[in-house]
Chains A and B, each alone.
Chain A
Amino acid sequence: MAGVTLSNIRKDYGALAAVDDVSLDILDGELLALLGPSGCGKTTTLRMIAGFVVPTAGTVKFGEREVTRVPVHKRNVGMVFQGYALFPHLTVAKNVEFGLKVRGWDKARIAARVTEMLRWVQLEALAERQPRALSGGQQQRVALARAMANHPDVLLLDEPFSALDAKLRTQMRTEIRELQRQAGITSVFVTHDQEEAMAIADRIGVMNHGKLEQLGSAEDLYKRPVSRFVAGFIGKCNFIEGRVTGPGQFETANAQVLRFSGEHAGGPAALCFRPEHATLAPSGAAGTSSTVRVTSVTYLGPVTEYEVVSEAGDKLLVAAPSSGNVASPRAGDKVSLTWRVEDAFVVD
């Protein structure tokens, strides 16, 4: 087992760069999520690790072994496909055994391994069933057992939970995470669901238009996004347009001066803060507040969302714990939107 290193990976389809100069170090034993909207290149990147796609440029390494041009069947990867891709003409046991047939093991050893894998995913009783008789969650576990039976160097999962309903999704992702941790295998999974990524991945690589925008833990991405895209893609975010005029100093479109934390070179930018870091008050301190008018109030149970608009025209969102306080702002009220400097950051 070893980590995976992608160095300056590129995949061109004609004039289109599906994956544009991506470099990534996946640590041994970690579960990394590749996250992004459709078309961002995450699946292509995964398929380059698997070997179904050959990079136009760059290298792929499993530990010290370079595998960039090694054909799929020689790479020793385990892959769980989006539709699970269980062989319909084989039983569950024969599916799990499939990869072991080419290893030259004797029958007893193969049978033992199959039983071991099925026990690991708790599907021993279904060994002789046909795939079509299984539920979605069960099929996924068989797919995982099959992929892992082979002692792969890397485990790859392509949108593994997208075919499941919401409740099952939450359950399965925790299960798969547990199994992956037990096995300690380096794993990469692709998803467009940021909640899923944040819930189970050790680190997340956010991709957009073929580029890797940011790589980090969920907290890194949420608290210190490096780009507007990442800020907006992970959770909700408020953007106030303007420009950076000095260290920690930001000037809005209507010449209001605000303060932020973190570093940024001067020039056009957006000041950002998360909805839950903002509060609405009758008045606020200069540098960390803005006068706004409330345009709508949405009660969501534990949280109430307020849509507001600033004097410069920025549409912003505030999320506050719902209170029974009669003094809560109402639509049409003019209030002051405030936040703490530590919670304000700037992106391009």
Chain B
Amino acid sequence: MGGVSFGRVAFIALVIAIFTFVIAPLLTIIWASFFVDKILTFPPTGYTLSWYARAWDLEEFANGFLMSLKIGACATVASLAIGVPAALAIERYPFPGRETVRQFLLSPMYVPAIVAGAAVYIYFIEVEILTNFQLAATFTGLVIAHTLVALPWTLRLVCASLLSANVVSEEAARSLGANALQTFFYVTLPIIRPGMIAAAMFSFIASFSDLEKSLFLVGPGKTTLPIAIINYLEWNLDPTISAVATVQIVIIAAALIISDRFVKLGKAF
């Protein structure tokens, strides 16, 4: 539309400025993670990787990092194991109340994280009082909470994948004599594989970056990376934290890139 005019240039400048506002802090922290000076000086006197080494030396970060990875992996597996069948049921076996069930299963996304975190914590404690089975401040408890976080992502992405997959191939397989299980493994699964991989990546991202739900459920020796970051920040602000934050950014960005290989990202939102 139209040509180049002052108005158009000003508009684009505004858009760029707003994007910069959102992205700049993240770029800054990545950049700052390499600064030599412990006290932030601008411009930096030099660059180093030593903060990354220091971060790894600090137990809470090393543990937090590994914990987040482990929990993320488990939550992803659980989310797929529970979410893929649910998506199948919703998209391939219409039953009464299907839409309500779908909204119900997506609801963890709409409940404020802090509210859900608090509720699950209190619930776990009560369960422990009742059954002597401890869930708060345990690995299992965290995995359960993170699976809840991841489930809506899996559901959304696999449902979208099933929706756009052509049901004709499945019907053809059935007409050729395959039973439900065989049809699923040989026909449906390959078709929704990209959607499942994207679901896995987003489940992992949702779990890895979660804060409020994990807040109540962490304990000594069992903390996640985001929470370790928050705890550190309450008392310190030095490049170590920039290094840790950068690590988290890199991990999540990697998961996103992998996901993009399989599913055009526009579909997830």
Q: Taking beta carbons and an 8 Å cutoff, which residues of A are in contact with B?
A: 51-52, 54, 69, 71-72
The DSSP consensus for interface residues of chain A is loop
Nearest chain B residue, comparing its CB with the CB of A54: B3
Interchain CA distance A119-B2 in the complex, whole Å: 34
* CB atoms of B3 and A52 under 8 A apart: no
Question: Does B1 count as interface, using CB distance less than 8 angstroms?
Answer: yes
Interchain CA distance A160-B124 in the complex, whole Å: 67
A interface footprint on B1-33 (CB within 8 Å = 1, 0 otherwise)? 111010000000000000000000000000000
* CB atoms of A69 and B1 under 8 A apart: no
Interchain CA distance A54-B5 in the complex, whole Å: 13
CB-defined contacts of A51 to chain B, threshold 8 Å: 2
Interchain CA distance A54-B4 in the complex, whole Å: 10
Shortest beta-carbon distance from A250 to chain B in Å: 50
Nearest chain A residue, comparing its CB with the CB of B7: A71
Nearest chain A residue, comparing its CB with the CB of B4: A54
Interchain CA distance A141-B1 in the complex, whole Å: 26
The DSSP consensus for interface residues of chain B is loop
Could you list some 10 contacts between A and B, CB below 8 A? A51-B2, A52-B1, A52-B2, A54-B2, A54-B3, A69-B3, A71-B2, A71-B3, A71-B5, A72-B2
Interchain CA distance A69-B5 in the complex, whole Å: 11
The tally of residues in B whose CB lies under 8 Å from a CB in A reads 4
CB-defined contacts of B5 to chain A, threshold 8 Å: 71
Shortest beta-carbon distance from A46 to chain B in Å: 15
CB-defined contacts of A71 to chain B, threshold 8 Å: 2-3, 5
CB-defined contacts of A54 to chain B, threshold 8 Å: 2-3
Shortest beta-carbon distance from A72 to chain B in Å: 7
Nearest chain B residue, comparing its CB with the CB of A73: B2
Shortest beta-carbon distance from A197 to chain B in Å: 28
CB-defined contacts of B2 to chain A, threshold 8 Å: 51-52, 54, 71-72
Shortest beta-carbon distance from A242 to chain B in Å: 50
Interchain CA distance A51-B1 in the complex, whole Å: 8
Interchain CA distance A4-B3 in the complex, whole Å: 21
A interface footprint on B181-198 (CB within 8 Å = 1, 0 otherwise)? 000000000000000000
Shortest beta-carbon distance from B7 to chain A in Å: 10
CB-defined contacts of A72 to chain B, threshold 8 Å: 2
Interchain CA distance A49-B3 in the complex, whole Å: 14
Interchain CA distance A347-B194 in the complex, whole Å: 56
Interchain CA distance A69-B3 in the complex, whole Å: 8
Interchain CA distance A53-B3 in the complex, whole Å: 8
Interchain CA distance A54-B2 in the complex, whole Å: 7
Interchain CA distance A71-B1 in the complex, whole Å: 9
Interchain CA distance A259-B48 in the complex, whole Å: 90
Nearest chain A residue, comparing its CB with the CB of B2: A71
CB-defined contacts of B1 to chain A, threshold 8 Å: 52
Nearest chain B residue, comparing its CB with the CB of A51: B2
Nearest chain A residue, comparing its CB with the CB of B5: A71
A interface footprint on B35-47 (CB within 8 Å = 1, 0 otherwise)? 0000000000000
Interchain CA distance A147-B160 in the complex, whole Å: 43
Scoring B2, B3, B5 by chain A CB atoms within 10 A of each residue's CB, the highest score goes to: B2
Interchain CA distance A52-B1 in the complex, whole Å: 5
Task: Tell me the B152-184 residues at the A interface (CB within 8 Å).
Answer: none
Task: Tell me the B94-128 residues at the A interface (CB within 8 Å).
Answer: none
Nearest chain B residue, comparing its CB with the CB of A71: B2
Interchain CA distance A52-B3 in the complex, whole Å: 9
Shortest beta-carbon distance from A50 to chain B in Å: 11
CB-defined contacts of B3 to chain A, threshold 8 Å: 54, 69, 71
Nearest chain B residue, comparing its CB with the CB of A69: B3
Q: Beyond the given A71-B2, A71-B5, could you list 8 further A-B residue pairs with CB under 8 A, ordered by the A residue number?
A: A51-B2, A52-B1, A52-B2, A54-B2, A54-B3, A69-B3, A71-B3, A72-B2
CB-defined contacts of A52 to chain B, threshold 8 Å: 1-2
Shortest beta-carbon distance from B25 to chain A in Å: 38
Interchain CA distance A341-B146 in the complex, whole Å: 87
Interchain CA distance A71-B4 in the complex, whole Å: 10
Shortest beta-carbon distance from B13 to chain A in Å: 19
Nearest chain A residue, comparing its CB with the CB of B1: A52
Interchain CA distance A72-B3 in the complex, whole Å: 10
Scoring A52, A71, A72 by chain B CB atoms within 10 A of each residue's CB, the highest score goes to: A71
Shortest beta-carbon distance from A18 to chain B in Å: 16
Interchain CA distance A71-B3 in the complex, whole Å: 8
Interchain CA distance A210-B5 in the complex, whole Å: 28
Nearest chain A residue, comparing its CB with the CB of B3: A54
Interchain CA distance A273-B207 in the complex, whole Å: 75
Shortest beta-carbon distance from B177 to chain A in Å: 47
